[in-house]
Chain A
Amino acid sequence: MTPAEIRQEIIDILDDISPDEDLDNLDDQKAFREQLELDSMDFLDIVMELRKRHRVQIPEEDYGHLASMHSTVTYLEPKMKDL
């Protein structure tokens, strides 16, 4: 997957977790938490959905990388480039 495809995949997951959220104006550099009402349960869901959909394993100590869209895509790129 290219970074753009990974980004789209994250958007799909966010849309699935929280369908009422307006994701069109998401600022990739800003933390998800500042823009969306996501709590720790929702973050766990992003991790779980990635595992379910793409068999991507994210160890707990890496959850910090999922802070913003930009950091998430950067973190996932090596893990998902061959998918």
Chain B
Amino acid sequence: MYDTIIIGAGMSGLAAGIRLAHFDQRVCILEKHYTIGGLNSFYRMGGRDYDVGLHAMTNFARKGDKKGPLAKLIRQLRFGWEDFKLAEQNGSSIRFPGVELDFNNDIAMLESEIKSRFPDQIDGFRSLCGSLLDYSDMDGDSPDFMRSAREVMAEHLSDPLLIEMLLCPLMWYGNARENDMDFGQFCIMFRACYLEGFGRPYKGVRVILKNLVRKFRGLGGELKLRSGVANIHVEEGKAVGVVLDDGTELQAKRILSSAGTVETMRMCDDITEPDVAKAGKLSFIESISVLDCKPKELGFDRTIVFYNDSPNFHWERPDDSLCDARTGVICSPNNYIYDAEEGELPDGVVRITTLANHDLWSDLPEEKYRAAKVTQYDEAVASAVRFMPDFRSRVVDTDVFTPKTIRRFTWHDNGAVYGAPDKQLDGTTHLPNVFLCGTDQGFVGIVGAIVSGISMANRHCLQV
């Protein structure tokens, strides 16, 4: 009998596991896949290391900083700064037709950019910054949390273009809702991206995952891979344990699931029809290009470019096409300020993320699917090079993954990257001893998911 069973060995599940194992619980993490990481794993192909997701870790902080989510998670998981060792970004840009805003990890940069491009908006921008909710107001109790971010922004800013430009990175890095954003989520992402900023460990996401797993195992936690949970077995209104895909039964006092709300409900054997309409539907394709040179040799030094090819930013699933490349994110992991002793990354890499439709990708027969990966890669790159130097003649290797890939590796409905639009901020479910953490609880991104795992473990599994 376990004290807690955790479903999923992604960022949130591993972080929760560390907290519980540290405080001597008998805890087991069950992961359906053969490896850890979930939405942010890593792989090796053609002799090269790839990250699934990592463009940037948001919520950058420097060694010794005591405030903010990154400092908090390092403390709560008893890590040291060196374990995460983040290199700072060079600087990123928001690029719309004819106008560009640069930003880095010091908000003064974005402020001065707004001052010069949108001089009559700078006071509004400052008052918007002043109205942001604090992290301590993020448990959803604040009456402003569920307001429309567009509505709040319009109270401070009168130029619609600036509103679209500011929303673009924040939606890309953490908004599960189409077209608008909850103000609370806006505040979380505004702090994470603009006030704290971007960093990346030299070796990418594997460093973080390996540290999490090593710590968890070192504390006596059990991790079972290839152990998908088929069923959460419910008796008399309480979960008593789980049944794995291979029929193995495991018992636990409580269950913490990072599989998603709808996905978890589907496992509960007291629920016959989960409300699938509540699942998120925003998914991506990622087009990765390996170059024969460093991006900066082509005149590209930006860490991330968030682009959009018209004054209106459309944050929605493409309904009639595989992808929508009108907007996208360009990332070069080379463009971070790595330590001298680390040096440069071995290969020049450009990663481009564009919006995609899970169902259309999944319906393609195998041959068409493979062909579509090629054509959609070409479209994403063609769209992106309008906003950066054309690197197409320098590509030596490519990889593409689609919503179908994301779904296959995470089991999230619709390959949804940021989960359901309506979050379950308190992490509770219809059962008194089954709780949610990760994407569908509320915090997204790498740092967000880790913080979610920690806080749900604290709240529901430790204070008992």
Q: Does A16 contact B (CB under 8 A)?
A: yes
Extra pairs beyond A19-B80, A45-B76, A48-B23 (13, CB < 8 Å): A17-B75, A18-B66, A20-B64, A20-B66, A20-B81, A39-B136, A41-B72, A41-B455, A41-B458, A44-B458, A44-B463, A45-B75, A52-B22
| Bitwise interface map of A from 1 to 41 toward B, beta carbon under 8 Å scored 1, else 0 | 00000000000000011111100000000000000010101
Chain A residues with CB under 8 Å of B71's CB are 37
Query: 1/0 per position for B46-76, CB-CB distance to A under 8 A?
Result: 0000000000000000011011000110011
User: Whose C-beta in chain A lies nearest to the C-beta of B76?
Assistant: A41
A–B Cβ pairs within 8 angstroms, 9 of them: A17-B75, A17-B78, A18-B75, A21-B66, A39-B72, A41-B72, A41-B455, A41-B458, A52-B22
Interface size on A, residues (CB 8 A): 16
The docked-state distance in angstroms from the alpha carbon of A41 to that of B78 is 13
Does chain A have a CB within 8 A of B462?
yes
What separation, in Å, do the CA atoms of A18 and B63 have in the docked complex? 12
Chain B interfacial residues counted at CB < 8 A: 20
CB-defined contacts of B136 to chain A, threshold 8 Å:
39
Q: How far, in Å, is A64 (CB) from chain B's closest CB?
A: 16
The residue on A at minimum CB distance from B81 is A20
B76 → chain A closest CB, angstroms: 6
Roughly how many angstroms separate A45 CA and B24 CA in the complex, as a whole number? 13
Interface residues of A (CB under 8 A from B): 16-21, 37, 39, 41-42, 44-45, 48, 51-52, 60
Write out the residue numbers on chain A whose beta carbons fall within 8 Å of the beta carbon of B455.
41
Tell me the interface secondary structure of chain B in the complex: helix
Q: Which residues in A have their C-beta under 8 angstroms from that of B80?
A: 19
The A interface is mostly helix, strand or loop, or mixed, namely: helix
Contact A37 B66 (CB under 8 A): yes
Asked whether, in the complex, the Cβ of A42 is within 8 Å of the Cβ of B75, the reply is yes
The 6 closest A-B pairs by CB, nearest first: A37-B66, A48-B23, A20-B64, A52-B23, A18-B75, A17-B75
Residue of A whose beta carbon sits closest to that of B459: A44
Q: How far is the CA of A41 from the CA of B136 in the complex (A)?
A: 11
Residues of B within 8 A of A48 (CB): 23, 462
**Chain B residues positioned under 8 Å from A42 (CB to CB):** 75
Residues of B within 8 A of A45 (CB): 75-76
Question: Which residue of B is nearest A37, CB measured?
Answer: B66
List residues of chain A with CB within 8 A of the CB of B63: 20
Bound Cα distance A16, B22 (Å): 12
Which residue of chain A lies nearest to B66 when distances are taken between CB atoms in the complex? A37
Q: Which residues of A contact B454 (CB under 8 A)?
A: 41
Closest to B72 in A: A41
Q: In the bound complex, what is the Cα–Cα distance between A20 and B23 (angstroms)?
A: 22
Q: Return the chain B residue nearest A51 by Cβ.
A: B23
Residues from chain B with a CB closer than 8 A to the CB of A41 are 72, 76, 454-455, 458
Nearest chain A CB to B165 CB, angstrom units: 33
Find chain A residues with CB under 8 A from B462 CB: 44, 48
* Distance to closest chain A CB from B346 (angstroms): 33
Q: Which listed residue, B22, B23, B24, B67, touches A37 by the CB 8 Å rule?
A: B67
Complex Cα–Cα for A77 and B127 (A):
50
Query: Which residue on chain A has the smallest CB distance to residue B80?
Result: A19
User: A52 to B24, Cβ gap below 8 A?
Assistant: yes
Q: How far is the CA of A83 from the CA of B67 in the complex (A)?
A: 35
User: Contact check: which of B64, B66, B78, B458 meets A16 at CB < 8 Å?
Assistant: B78
Give Cα A17–Cα B71 distance, bound, in whole angstroms: 11
Residue of B whose beta carbon sits closest to that of A19: B80
How many angstroms from the CA of A21 to the CA of B66 in the assembled complex?
A: 9
Nearest CB of chain A from residue B230's CB, rounded to whole Å: 33
The residues of A that contact B23 with a CB separation of less than 8 Å are 48, 51-52
Q: State the Cβ distance, A21 to closest chain B Cβ, in Å.
A: 8
Bound complex: CA A52 to CA B23 (Å)? 6
> Whole-angstrom distance between the alpha carbons of A33 and B177 in the complex?
37
Q: Separation in Å of the B78 CB from the closest CB of chain A?
A: 7
* Complex Cα spacing A18 to B302, Å: 34
Contacts of A44 in B (CB 8 A): 458, 462-463
Max chain B C-beta neighbours (<10 A), residue from A20, A52, A60: A20
Q: Give the CA-CA distance A74 to B458 in the complex, in Å.
A: 27
Bound: A30/B66 CA distance, A: 19
Kindly state the separation between the CA atoms of A60 and B76 in the bound complex, as whole angstroms.
20
Q: How far is the CA of A69 from the CA of B294 in the complex (A)?
A: 54
- Chain B residues 421-464 with CB under 8 Å of chain A are 454-455, 458, 462-463
* Separation of A52 and B163 alpha carbons in the complex (Å): 50
Chain A residues positioned under 8 Å from B64 (CB to CB): 20
Nearest Cβ on chain A to B216's Cβ, whole angstroms: 17
Measured between beta carbons, the chain B residues less than 8 angstroms from A60 are 463
Chain B residue, CB-CB nearest to A45? B76
User: Which residue on A lies nearest to B135, using beta carbons?
Assistant: A39
Smallest Cβ distance from B133 to chain A, in angstroms?
Answer: 16
